[in-house]
Amino acid sequence: MKSLSEIDTIAKRSSKAMGFSWGVAEEIGKSIRLLELFGLPGIKTLNQYYILKAKEKFENLDLINEKNSSIKYPYCPIILGINFLDQIRNVEKFQKITFNKICFPLLILPFLSKSSEIIGKKIKIKFDNFEFLLNFNINISSNFLELKLPKIVENIEINIIENKDNFLEKDWNNLYKLSEETFVDENDSLKKSAAGAGLTDND
Amino acid sequence: MQIQLRNPNTIMKLSRLGSFHQSKLSFLRSFLDEFKDWEYKNDLFDLDEHGYGTAVYSFKKKERIYSLICFANKINDEERSDRVIATKWDAAFTLHDGSPSKLDIERLKNEVPKQEVGRLSYKELTLSRANKSVRVFNHVVESLSKGVQPDLNLLEEVGYLYRTTAVYGSGKFGLADRFRIENREEINGPFRLEMMLVYLVRQFTFDQVNHVAKFKNPKSAVKLDLKICKNLGIGNSTGLGMAPFIVNHPTLLNNWILSREVALKKIREIKKASLKEIRIFKNCLKNSLKNITSWNTESEYQKNKINSLLKDIKIFLEFIEIEFDFGIDYPFNEIYLWVEKKTCDECIEYIVSMMLEPFDNITKPLVSQMSSDEEKYFTIPTNRTIEDLRKIVETKYNNILKIDFKKKENFKNFWFISKNKEEPRYANRFDEEGSDLEQPLAIARDIKKLHEKLLETKKNLTIDKFLLKNNDLRHVVRRAFIIEKFPYSEIQDNTISEKVIPIDMLRLKLSFFGALKFDPKSDKWLRICMFQGAPLPNDLQNFDQQWIYNS
């Protein structure tokens, strides 16, 4: 089994060899490490992308807008991911961001995951029938289970999710009621003495 | 009185970093302190008459066990090499997490001796190999087998029976990643498990030499005297592999240096020194002279440094014995100011190490702050502006910005990774090929490039926009934002200049390990000794904290 440290190093060095700058290669190393840590096929996908990148063209998306359409070729997931991360404080305002065509979308996930941590909001990405929820860079949840992700996906949607409860008030109230059963009903004596303060507050 | 931390522009110069000495904060000393109440055991010692075979040593506390597994193999004299190109060693070692099963030992027997081309698992924490000092080892075997103790002069000259040629950890070759163990209480300082491995290897060398001598002459053989064992350490040959580490781990480097600087600052701020503190300081200083006078090297560079150190220490000793009054306020601050004014770099840093000795209350809490969660500071704050970044660069790298990189001598060398051994190397870019594959270790040059770019960029532009067009400088943009928070994270020197002495980088790291007797063999590799004078595993429960000077 390869260690995460080895994964980081190999991803970084191979990315430099593919023409990315050292600074970008460092980002890629960390991102592939994160995917593998979360049990997602980072090394496999990066390898597939670099094989394809040697033969085919991809577009670099610099400035992220609300709606992003590549002119001819699909977007490079790495440059898109890094710019998304760099620009997250601006991108956050859009709430919903769309892209017409990206290749190997799995490679964007680590950058969205870090972005989620920076803004303190969950981020959701949807394409085809796949959904990934990036939770503050603590974990990634998804309906992707051993399914094969397409190399190139269309109509990608990213949502910045506002911080709100993801449960109903009635569920909360029900549990709150149950939790009250662990409390002691205070009589007069307890009210006077059990709090540890209060009798001489105005001295 | 409020003392300022020393200026990183002075302390982080390579010539100063290359003058650092071991101290109470050194990792091998804090390792011994942490593991002193662990149960030590030799679990297996299955060597043949020549000393080849397998041995296991362990440290145990409650449910936690760390086991060193040793594989000693026969190699021919011509196969023995300390260089990284070697493929066979006298012995190979791994530190296993827990108690190894027979299956583990069988698996490791095939992998550990192969070192870099073997595969370890998440159950192994560190990996190493070592070669005998054949001259010393054979002499000790001969002597012991005849019933006499070996020649102490020879032992003192070399200082060890074996020297390691690499110690790997943190996920290399399949070893456990640091995240698997970082929350363990006993791993609260850097390189703790690497230190454990080296320490237990030292014990193995004594047991092996006794074993071979016994088989050679069962009737008359005696064991190596425990006092002699105590005065032997483990040697180490270190090449350039270690140098990039301190560039590649800026926050970790900061935390090492900062801990030392904070300790010094606090000691200089002590108004009155107690008699006990004064006694410990003076004793350590006097006793440590032996470590300097027995510091053997053929390197002219190091010989000059040792001579200057010895000369300055003698002057300093005279000063504190005759002139200096420890009864004055802030005595250690006065001492420091005197030393800084009157002595060489090597001596300044030597005295700083000595000043730490009496102050466990100051140094101990700092040990746990010497690790770093590097990931936490990796992300670039892209919402900051060019003005912010420019200010950081101009404040934190002001000496670097003065370097003229148009002059050939200032970019003569380059760092690269050797294809053959996947190890860092250093070469002249005008004589050798390969500079197009240069590693990102020329921080000074790239910072200067960044600064030039910043000067022609609008002040209020945010970093995310700047990076759109300047991703080639991303690695140094990241570093600049790191140094803003971590003032000692960067070497304030040009690592590709004609004048650079790479062993200064090694020396810095090795001093934090706790190494003694730096013996440069060229400007790119050196030998050192570790754990010389350290308590033996059976004596760990109650040992002299200043053992390093009292052996």
ipTM of the assembly? 0.87
pLDDT at A185: 84
**CB-nearest partner of A1 from B122, B170, B464:** B122
State the pLDDT confidence band at B517, using cuts at 50, 70 and 90: confident
- Half-sphere exposure of B201 toward its Cβ, with a 13 Å CA cutoff? 36
pLDDT at B240: 86
Question: Which residues in chain A have Cβ-Cβ distances shorter than 8 Å to B173?
Answer: 6
B186 is in which domain, residue-wise? 35-239
A86-95, B40-49, B319-328, B416-425: the lowest-pLDDT one:
B416-425
Q: Where are the domains of chain A?
A: 4-161
Please check whether residue B135 lies inside any domain of the structure: yes
State the pLDDT confidence band at A44, using cuts at 50, 70 and 90: very high
Q: What is the rounded average pLDDT of the residues B234-244?
A: 88
Please check whether residue B437 lies inside any domain of the structure: yes
Q: Does B436 touch chain A (CB under 8 A)?
A: no
**Per-residue pLDDT at B398 exceeds 90:** yes
Min Cα–Cα distance to chain A from B423, Å: 13
Domain total of chain B: 2
Which of B460, B485, B510 lies at the terminal end of a domain, its last residue? B485
**CB-nearest partner of B468 from A13, A30, A62:** A62
pLDDT at B283: 95
pLDDT digits (tens, 9 = 90+) for B252-292: 999 999 999 999 999 999 999 999 999 999 999 999 998 88
Q: Does A83 touch chain B (CB under 8 A)?
A: yes
Min Cα–Cα distance to chain B from A93, Å: 14
**Per-residue pLDDT at A196 exceeds 80:** no
pLDDT at A201: 53
Which of B207, B239, B271 lies at the terminal end of a domain, its last residue? B239
Which of B239, B265, B283 lies at the terminal end of a domain, its last residue? B239
Closest CA to B316 of B295, B294, B339: B339
Please check whether residue B466 lies inside any domain of the structure: yes
Please check whether residue B26 lies inside any domain of the structure: no
Q: Average pLDDT, whole number, for chain B?
A: 95
Q: Do A83 and B122 touch (CB under 8 A)?
A: no
pLDDT at A197: 57
